Structure 1
């Protein structure tokens, strides 16, 4: 059984930063439907965010220019924009720096 502190950390590094995982899901892949992003987060990454939460993050990412929307057969498909790729790389660098600080003696 995990402590409340560890559970809080897990939530903050997954659901509360879901955009990073959405970006990773779309990195170097064909555009996906929102539903396919939800499935990938659950099946590939073990993130159990609600469908509405994932769609909310997708819509915010579109508004911020991190994702592009493609209409295909009446459906919306999403792909990572160049800005999204750049922000994802910056996020990885930030997380690596934090890990280095935490691991240092």
Structure 2
């Protein structure tokens, strides 16, 4: 059950990031933004198995617990930006919204 709480956010986000890279609606995403989306997807994909492993451990040391919680919080933040970005792209097909550009400049 705890694994779902931590990997569920990652799974949903990975699907959204893949959609940004593969769906025809988002073909205007190019260059640095596309590279950053790819980077995020790849990094989160590599973190997912570790989160699954940590979810099965009954008692984590404080450092691992903090890392796990930080990854989940980061994934939630990225998902919020991704949702906003996808909505903006769907409402304005003439220009690339600042959602991801703003996120990467943080």
Instruction: Considering Cα pairs closer than 8 Å and 6+ residues apart, tell me whether 1 or 2 has the greater RCO.
Output: 2
- TM-score, length-scaled by structure 2: 0.30
Structure having the higher helix fraction is 2
Structure having the higher strand fraction is 1
- TM-score, length-scaled by structure 1: 0.31
